[in-house]
């Protein structure tokens, strides 16, 4: 019995020593670029991420997220519109995600990714914009397009006015020429005065023509 107890104790010590040795050789590393900024319109989906490497570790990452409140990073309370997930990239390397399913203005702030209790990433800036903010960039283009449209309308009206004015001049000129032509031919058709004195002769002349 004593021998069996001794063997069991040695096995437990060996296992504990191996586990502690493994954890001592485990070096978590979190990579997030400095000054990372994510922008999203309100009521949309946003996904932020950090990369985790566990060199010398024989376990999956223990990832958590927190939001900075002054100097403290408060752990997130995951709800219906915030969730987490992670995926393998390669051996001993993962990518962890924090997903805002329906982001709101209250979600604006600085977030950090944590592995275990010791490794913490750089802050990730999440900026949520309103619907009006997303349309502000259109302002200058609206003014430019309005100006171009106004110039086009003025040019079109001016062009049509010139065409119509030229057409009116041509009509008046043609009418004047026509009247002059008719007056000239009327004079050619007028009979000598002495023919009007004899109605029979006038009728004869008219029929001859």
Quick one: pLDDT at residue 142?
53
What confidence tier does 209 reach under pLDDT thresholds 50, 70, 90? very low
The pTM score is: 0.55
Q: What is the mean pLDDT of residues 42-60?
A: 92
Distance CA(167)–CA(94), nearest Å, equals 79
Instruction: Please give the residue that has the higher pLDDT: either 9 or 185.
Output: 185
Distance CA(58)–CA(52), nearest Å, equals 14
Instruction: Please give the residue that has the higher pLDDT: either 152 or 21.
Output: 152
The candidate with the shortest Cα–Cα distance to 126, out of 150, 157, 145, 105, is 105
Cβ count within 10 A of residue 80: 7
Instruction: Please give the residue that has the higher pLDDT: either 130 or 17.
Output: 130
4-15 pLDDT, tens digit per residue, is 544 444 444 343
- Look at residue 144 and tell me whether its pLDDT is greater than 70: yes
- Look at residue 113 and tell me whether its pLDDT is greater than 80: yes
Distance CA(194)–CA(173), nearest Å, equals 37
Quick one: pLDDT at residue 131?
67
């Amino acid at each position: 019995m004593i021998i069996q107890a001794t063997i069991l104790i040695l096995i437990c010590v060996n296992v504990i020593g191996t586990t502690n040795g493994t954890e001592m050789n485990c070096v978590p590393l979190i990579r997030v670029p400095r000054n990372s900024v994510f922008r999203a319109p309100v009521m949309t989906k946003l996904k932020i991420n950090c990369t985790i490497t566990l060199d010398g570790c024989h376990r999956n990452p223990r990832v958590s997220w927190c939001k900075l409140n002054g100097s403290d990073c408060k752990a997130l309370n995951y709800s219906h519109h915030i969730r987490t997930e992670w995926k393998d990239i390669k051996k001993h390397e993962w990518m962890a995600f924090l997903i805002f399913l329906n982001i709101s203005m209250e979600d604006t702030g600085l977030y950090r990714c944590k592995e275990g209790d010791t490794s913490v990433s750089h802050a990730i800036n999440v900026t949520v914009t309103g619907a009006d903010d997303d349309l502000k960039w259109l302002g200058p283009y609206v003014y430019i397009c309005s100006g171009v449209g106004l110039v086009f309308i003025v040019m079109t009206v001016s062009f049509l006015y010139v065409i119509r004015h030229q057409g009116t001049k041509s009509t008046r000129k043609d009418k004047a020429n026509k009247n002059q032509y008719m007056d000239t031919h009327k004079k050619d058709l007028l009979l000598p005065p002495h023919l009007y004195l004899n109605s029979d002769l006038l009728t004869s002349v008219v029929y001859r023509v």
